[in-house]
Each structure stands twice: as structure tokens, then as C-alpha cells.
Chains A and B, each alone.
Chain A
């Protein structure tokens, strides 16, 4: 993409959108949002960066292969389900703990881990397709 404005704005836009996607992921249990939507937002962020600067910088920026990210997500989601087996409750039962950090109570749960898994799978799988399409599109 030749537009200077777009090239300049794209990194900021991407970082903002990625942050926002994590925000959306984390608040999903109580407000609109969640892993799936968050993942889609993150993919859009990567797509913008890719269109502006090309695929190589994106691949460098996310460091891991997108499919590895997706695989890690699937693993996280499965583990989230399996943890409940160790607590002697049925597979995929949500478990919650409330540790407090600096006086603030932080609710943590296997459900959270599961949603993060969904997020990673969506980011990994879709961005892997988008990136590989973009990669040789210009040839």
C-alpha cells in the first residue's frame, strides 16, 4: 500500500485494536464480548498492519507461527476442560478461585482459560489464512 498516511497510522491502529481485543476478551463474561469477537478484532488488527507494511513484519511481530498459536489455543481450551476432571467434577465444569492481589479480589476461572483458548484459535487460524493469501497475492 502506497498511502503514507495509512502506513503511518497503521502501527498505532494495530496496537490499539490489539489492546482493545484483549479488553473485549476479558470482559466477555459480563459484558458484550468474549474470545470469539476478541479474536476477530485481533485478526483485523493484524490484517491492517499486513496491508500497510506487508506480511513479513507481521510474521516477525507475532513471533510464533499462526498455526502454532491456534494449536496452543486448542490445547488451552482442552486443558481448561480437563482440569475439572482432577477436581472430580464432570468434564468442562467451570471452576473459580478468587485470589487477591494488592487488596483487589481477582476472579479467575477455568472458563477464562477456555475463552482465551477460543481467542487464540480464532487469531491463529484466520490470520494464518489471511497472511498466506496476502503473502503471494502480488506475484
Chain B
């Protein structure tokens, strides 16, 4: 098979695996994870083969035409950026599938869970590999939907349901902003492919729509990547089982926004707006995320808030856009994926094996879980940015990018040091506190985790060490192509493990120093933070609830106004509208019919029929009770049917006769059921407006029919049917031939409607009868009790 077909297969494979996951789990139990992990592993191997080519500066695109008339295609773009993401997603994905196998062992819905997570993987992979806008958007929203399923996996709990809904509303809503942005971009440039868009940056930045596109795209990216003040869904998403958190935070959804910003950097970046908005939001997210992380004692929540901080850092770096900043962003993104994935899985192991993940109730686990301790330490060292781990390289590059002597750089550098120091403290709080110190009693007897659980984090932690040690190779194959893709021009990353004398080293030293101080005083810091937060009180999380409540209240008010629940109001509205349309249109457009004229020699029997019709109408109006009125209406209908017959439409008149008969029967039946009073007792102030509306409708229809019959008749269709109904459809009755043959598909639809209507009426009748019956039963019960 050629590469394009294989890539196409790789895009679809996770969804196929998702389909078979429940079946496999039913037969193999948790061991199905070993088999299912082959899908992401195969994808990983497939993309690994692209690495040398991409490292040489190639860009691979491919795909198929999807909607050619709109120039929309199903196409992919593989360059340094998307390749790195694809490798992270499939590589970590394979480990996560294995980890889920162990973590949810024996869970009744494990198959469903594996299915969800594979779908999530497929959506994320599609998102980063998309070349076409539409495909990008579809996968973007798919990640929102699949993460909704994952976060709400434990749907018995209210907190999980709320968190899932919140994530969906925030990220899905942001996705709609993104769609608007992409549509404008498409409109302005006429380009539907990201790979072609790269050459359009200069023109776009001068376009008057630039700011609109930028703001809309940022709306999508910021909500997805949990930038302040849209960050609140991210910690709440911790309601999901730990494998989800590990995946969501390391490789997938929350990075999607950062991915988008990096992807569009060559097109949208470099302008003053970009360089102000991104760093501003980024640094706010960095500091608030780190501060909120310190506040927590739950391992997963601490990690969640540090993810938020890291995302802020990435947005800050992408926004700055200098060569150093881009390279730092590329390095840090990979480093973060590795250490955060590992740490989350470690947190899951601790939770799984001890029954608690509260920092204050854990301690002394090092002898029971030595392997986990080593993994946690390795990941934490990378997170803290200490050598010889990959995180160190990333941090040095970050400080290299921030070391400048203007006020702006110094402010950013100071805030970055603060944020990093807080993360340093949190990293060691997670990796050290549960393991050192005296042994603390935990709900479960702690012991080392099974292989399915420790395998994933061990590989990730090892990876964080090995790519730092072989940094030359890693830079050539991954970091440099990725930075080049973000920058939009060739870049080479050269940073090595040797400390860099100068400003970066100084900032590093400051970070470690402040971090150690924070770590030692962590309890005091947490208490202080709690006081500050309690003083602020209101937060975006509560704001979200207020927003949703307000929205519901508006919806209820509008519904109550529009849907009064009274039939006569609806009828009045409908008929007033009909009258208005029928009367206003001809008047406004000067389409009034000419005055009708009656031929002098109307035959006597036709006059008689008309007289009968009019007499029927008069009888309706004068009738003393309703039943008489209904029957009198039938007179008028029969008269019309006779007119049809006279003018040579036997089919029509036949039908009209039957319809009139049946409608009288049905109306009479409905009347007895509704138990209306036999006659009409409405007061005059209701009768007058109603009759006005009726008159207006009648006048409108009259004018409309006069105008319609006044236009010259085009006989083309008539001739066609007369000519061909016998020869093609073997039928002499043209009307019937049209119904069952020429336009048979229409009729098929119509009888489906008839049937559905019948069902609907039937259920309404039953419903009413049922409620009446229940009402009587309840009354009888009450009487019996009394």
C-alpha cells in the first residue's frame, strides 16, 4: 500500500479500534488493552517512518477531494509540528490504553471506556493532521464531544455530569468561534488548506478583517487550552478517571489550542495585536494556574492547575514569537507532555493502590512502592527543570528567550520565574511528600502497582531522560523541524545540557532558590492562598453556573411569552399572519387582480350550485349549535365538489366528497370528546375580532385565487403528461399516473406523513384519555380513603 492510503488508514484506525473495544473487552477482560494498544502503536510506527524525511525539511501533504464544488477536501499536512503531535498522541495513547487496562480492571464499563478513549485519540489525531479547514473544525468539535463522554464517564455522580457539561459548553462554544474565524479566513483568502495559507500571511495582516479573524481564532484556542479566564473547566475535568486526565493533559485536548496558535503563527503572528494579547493572557494563566495549584492538596487537582500554568507559558512563548521563544515553546511542549503524562499516571497509581490522593493523608510510601517513587522523582525533576532531564533544556531556552533588558522582558521574566518556582514546589510536593516521612495509614494497604499501571509512566519518565542525554539527535529529528514549522522558516535548535553562563543561568538559579523556599513553606503558602481566594470569593467557575442559570431563566421567560399553551392564541396568530401575507403582498407589489367579470350566460344549474354553497355558509354563521354548524359546512364543501365535477375533474371531486364526509364525521367525534358546550357563547368583544380575521382571510384567498387564475395558463406540463402517461406509464388517468408513477417518490413521502400524523393523533388521544382516567382513579381513591 502506498503512503497516502496508509495515512488515511491511520486516521481511521482509532475509530475502528473503538468499535471493537467493547467486544474484545467482553471476551478478554482487562487484557484486551494489550491488543487494543496495537492500534496506536501501529500508528506511532507509521508516523515514525516520516521522521527522517521531515527532518530534512520536507512537508508531506495528501488527501482526497471531499466536496469538490466548494473546494473542500479531506487532506492532511505532515510537517515538524503535526508530526510531533501525532507521535505524542499515538505514542502516549498506546501507553494510556495499557494503563486504562490496569486502572479500570474489573470495572463493568471498561469496554465502553476504552472505546471512548480510542475515539478521543482518533479525533485529536485528525485535528493535528488536518490540512483542510473544515476537517480541522470537525475534528476540533469531535474532541470536545469525546472529552464530554470521557469526563462524564462516571455519570452516576452529579459532579462528573456538571464537569462534562461545563467542558462541552466552554470548548464546544469556543469551537464555534473558531468556525466563524476560519470561515472569515476562507472568505478573505479563498484558501481552504492550511498548507497553502502559509503564503498568505502578509496580505491577511493588512486585511481589515485581520482583527476579527484573530479574536475569533483566539476565542477557540483560549477556551480549548484553558487560558485564564476560561480555565475553570480544566480542573473540574478531573472528575474523569485518571487515565483520561493523564491523556487530556499530556498530549491531547488542552494542547489543541496551543497547537492551533503555533500552526497559525506564521500567518497571524508577529503583529502588535498578537504580541500583546497572547503574552498577556499567557502570563495571567501562568501565574494564576501556579498559584491555584499550590492551594490544592488533591494530587490530581495540583497537577491540573500546573497544566494550566504550563499552557499559559506556552501561549506566552508563542506570542512573543522571537526565535528563542519559538524554540523554547517547541521544547517545552514535548517536555511537558512527557513529565505531565508520567506524573498523572503516578497520581493514579497512588490513588489506585492506597485509596487516597490527598497530599495531607499520604506519606512514607517509598518502601511499599519503590518503583513508583523513582518514576515520580524522574518526572518531577523534569518538571522542575533540573538537569539532566529534558525539562531543563526547555527551561534554559525559555529563560534565554526572556532575558532582555527592556521593561517588558524584565516583567515577563520576573513573572515566569515566579510561576516556575511555584511549579517547582508543586512538582516536588507531588513526587516527594507521599513517599518520604513517616508511614501514614491509608484506606487500602499500599503495595507496588501491577505492570499495566507502571509501564506507561516508566517509559515516559525514561524518555524524558534519554532525549535530554541524546539532545543532538532529538533536536535534529524533532525539535528543529517543529520550530521551523511554527516559525514558518527553517530553524535549528542547538541547546545542550551544558549550563549556559549568563542571564538564563541566573534566572534558573533564582527559580530553584525561590522554589525551594516555596517547597519548605508549602503549608504556610497554601493557608495564605486560601485566605486570599476566600477574600476574592467569586470566580469564573461560579460565574459559569450563574451564566447557565441566567440563560435558562431567559429561555423560560421567552418560551412562556411565545408558547402560551392556549390553542386560541396560536390559532389567532396563525390566521392573522395568513391574512397579512395574503393581503399585504399584492398591495405592496401592485399585484391586485383586475375586477372579475361574470359571463352573461352562466347556466342556471351552475348558479344553483353557487347558491347552495352560499346558503351553506350562511347556515354555518346562523347555526344555533355547533353540530349544525359543522354539518352546514359540509353543504358548502359538497357544492364545491360538484363544481369540480362540472369542470371535468372527477378525481378531485371524488376526493372532495369523501374528505367532506369524513371531516364532518371526525369533527363531530372530536366535539363529543372535548365536551364543548353545544353552542357558541362567546361575548361580543371576542366574536367581532374573530370574524374580522375570518373575513380578512377569506378576502385574501379570494384575491389570491383571482390573481392566480388571471395569469395566462402555461400548458407545457399538461401537454407532457397527456402525451406520455399512456406510452410511458401505461395509464389513461393522468392524475393517478402522476401520483403513483411520475411523482411516486413524492407520494411515498406523503403517505409516510399521513402515517406519522395518524400515530401522533393516536398518541394524543390516548394521552388525554389516560390522564382523564388517572384523574378519575385518583378521585375514587380519595373517596375510598374518606
Q: A residues engaging B (CB < 8 A)?
A: 24, 28-37, 40-41, 43-44, 47, 51, 67, 70-71, 73-74, 77-78, 81, 91-92, 94, 96, 107, 109, 111, 114-115, 117-118, 121-122, 124-126, 128-130, 132-134, 136-139
Contacts and interface: CB of A to CB of B under 8 A. Distances in A.
Contact of A129 (B661, B739, B762): B762
B758 A129 contact: yes
B554 interface: no
Contacts of A34: 651, 733, 735-736, 739-740
Contacts of B747: 77, 114, 118
Interface string B639-663: 0000000000011001100110110
Nearest to A117: B751
Contacts of A31: 732-733
Contacts of B736: 28-29, 33-34, 115
Contacts of A122: 751, 754
The 7 closest A-B pairs by CB, nearest first: A125-B758, A40-B658, A32-B650, A30-B732, A29-B731, A133-B669, A121-B751
**Which of B735, B754, B757 has most chain A Cβ within 10 Å?**
B754
Contact of B658 (A37, A134, A139): A37
Contact of A70 (B650, B665, B755, B769): B755
B759 interface: yes
Nearest to A94: B741
Nearest to B654: A37
B672 interface: yes
A136 to B, nearest CB: 5
Interface in B668-718: 669-670, 672-673
A121 B748 CA distance: 10
Given A37-B658, A47-B665, A81-B748, A124 B733 contact: no
A107 B730 contact: yes
Given A30-B733, A114-B740, A138-B672, A124 B748 contact: no
A111 B651 contact: no
A96 B730 contact: yes
B744 interface: yes
Given A67-B762, A129-B666, 12 more contacts: A29-B733, A30-B732, A33-B736, A34-B733, A67-B759, A71-B755, A74-B752, A92-B745, A111-B741, A115-B740, A129-B758, A130-B662
19 contacts: A29-B730, A32-B735, A40-B655, A43-B662, A71-B755, A81-B744, A81-B748, A94-B730, A111-B744, A118-B751, A125-B755, A125-B759, A126-B662, A126-B754, A130-B665, A130-B669, A132-B765, A133-B666, A133-B673
B733 A28 contact: yes
A70 B756 CA distance: 10
A133 B765 contact: yes
A132 B762 contact: yes
A35 B736 CA distance: 9
A129 B736 CA distance: 26
B767 to A, nearest CB: 11
Binding site secondary structure of chain A: helix
Nearest to B729: A94
Contacts of B757: 125
In this complex, the member of B739, B748, B751 whose beta carbon has the largest number of chain A beta carbons within 10 angstroms is B751
Contacts of B673: 133, 136-137
A121 B755 contact: yes
B738 to A, nearest CB: 10
A128 B762 contact: yes
B136 to A, nearest CB: 36
Contacts of B766: 132
A32 B662 contact: no
A51 B729 CA distance: 40
B666 A40 contact: no
B751 A136 contact: no
A74 B661 CA distance: 25
A124 B756 CA distance: 11
A111 B731 CA distance: 10
B737 interface: yes
Given A92-B745, A124-B758, A35 B765 contact: no
Nearest to B732: A30
Given A30-B733, A37-B658, A73-B751, A137 B740 contact: no
- How big is chain B's contact interface, by range? 35 or more
Contacts of A129: 666, 758, 761-762, 765
B716 to A, nearest CB: 23
Interface in B722-736: 729-733, 735-736
A114 B744 contact: yes
Contact of B662 (A40, A73, A109, A124): A40
A34 B654 CA distance: 10
Nearest to A40: B658
B417 to A, nearest CB: 71
A70 B731 CA distance: 26
A129 B766 CA distance: 10
B655 A36 contact: yes
Contacts of A40: 655, 658-659, 662
Nearest to A96: B730
A29 B751 contact: no
B765 A126 contact: no
B655 A37 contact: yes
Contacts of B752: 74
Contacts of B758: 67, 70, 124-126, 128-129
A119 to B, nearest CB: 10
A91 B743 CA distance: 12
A35 B651 contact: no
Contacts of A24: 654
A43 B658 CA distance: 9
A120 B497 CA distance: 83
Interface string B742-786: 001101100110110111011001100100100000000000000
Contacts of B762: 67, 128-129, 132
B437 to A, nearest CB: 72
Contact of A130 (B654, B666, B729, B748): B666
Contacts of B754: 70, 121-122, 125-126
Contacts of B759: 67, 125
A32 B645 CA distance: 11
A73 B758 CA distance: 13
A133 B650 contact: no
Nearest to A137: B672
A116 to B, nearest CB: 10
A73 B747 CA distance: 12
A37 B737 CA distance: 14
A64 to B, nearest CB: 14
A21 to B, nearest CB: 10
A137 B669 contact: yes
Contacts of B651: 32-34, 37
- By CB atoms of chain B within 10 A, which of A74, A121, A128, A134 has the most? A121
A35 B740 contact: yes
> Which of the listed residues A29, A51, A81, A91 has the most CB atoms from chain B within 10 Å of its own CB?
A29
Given A70-B758, A111-B741, A132-B765, A32 B654 contact: yes
Nearest to A132: B765
A28 to B, nearest CB: 5
Contacts of A130: 662, 665-666, 669
A41 B651 CA distance: 13
Contacts of A125: 754-755, 757-759
Nearest to A34: B736
A84 B77 CA distance: 44
Contacts of A73: 751, 755
B198 to A, nearest CB: 46
B740 A44 contact: no
A129 to B, nearest CB: 5
B740 A118 contact: yes
A36 B759 CA distance: 18
Interface in B608-662: 650-651, 654-655, 658-659, 661-662
Contacts of A111: 729, 731, 740-741, 744
